[in-house]
Amino acid sequence: MSEKAKLGLVQVYWGNGKGKTTASLGLAIRALGRGLKVHLVQFMKGGISSVPDFEEYGELVSLKKLAGFSHERFGLKEWVVGKPGPEHLEQARLALKSSTAAASSGKYDLVIIDEILYAIQLGLITEDAVVLVIDAKAKGTELVLTGSHMPFKKIFARADLVSEIKKHKHPFDSGIIARRGVEF
């Protein structure tokens, strides 16, 4: 049986610890190294207006150099704080539409939807909308969902792998802010 014939599972990386996106991108590098096609959709990663380095995350600089990788970024240049505004909701709607299209297309071996679980947690989309993305997934497409400090029962029930990334200690707790090349 070919390696591609074994694909098609749903993986979830969630929890309050650092490393959910990093874990999914490590998987992307592994897949690309084996000649698989990888597509990344990012929710809420439109950059930060006051930090030029957030215009392009370090991982994208690297991954764009690899054959078989493609990506789409959605979000504004500001955090979602409190009730999401109409612009945030529109960006999430576009990201959800793109996620469904990528997952269901059959064009990719691996689709990573980064921060989609945070989008639920922040009220940008619903858990049921993400369940529809999972249900629409092409048979041979491996799907990875990341984000959130909250568990989502319906999504977890459909997933084949659920990994909780748990924080025990974080540099931010001692006042160390995100560092170029390590956090972004």
- Tell the residue number behind the tokens 């560092």, with chain if given: 179
- Provide the residue-wise pLDDT of the chain in tens; the chain has 184 residues: 566 668 999 999 999 999 999 999 999 999 999 999 999 999 998 767 676 766 778 888 899 999 999 999 999 988 888 899 999 999 999 999 999 999 999 999 999 999 999 999 999 999 999 999 999 999 999 999 999 999 999 999 999 999 999 988 888 888 888 887 777 7
Is residue 72 within 8 Å of residue 40, measured between CB atoms? yes
Q: What is the pTM of this model?
A: 0.91
What kind and span of H or E run contains 144? strand 142-146
User: What CA–CA distances, in Å, run from 175 to 52, 104, 163, 178?
Assistant: 21, 42, 27, 10
Query: How do the domains of the chain map onto residue ranges?
Result: 4-174
Dist. CA 105–CA 82, nearest whole Å: 34
Dist. CA 152–CA 30, nearest whole Å: 27
Is residue 96 within 8 Å of residue 125, measured between CB atoms? yes
Dist. CA 97–CA 51, nearest whole Å: 28
Q: Choose the CATH number for 4-174 among 1.10.3720.10, 1.20.1730.10, 3.40.50.1980, 3.40.50.300.
A: 3.40.50.300
Dist. CA 55–CA 88, nearest whole Å: 17
Provide the H-helix boundaries in 50-85. Answer: 58-63
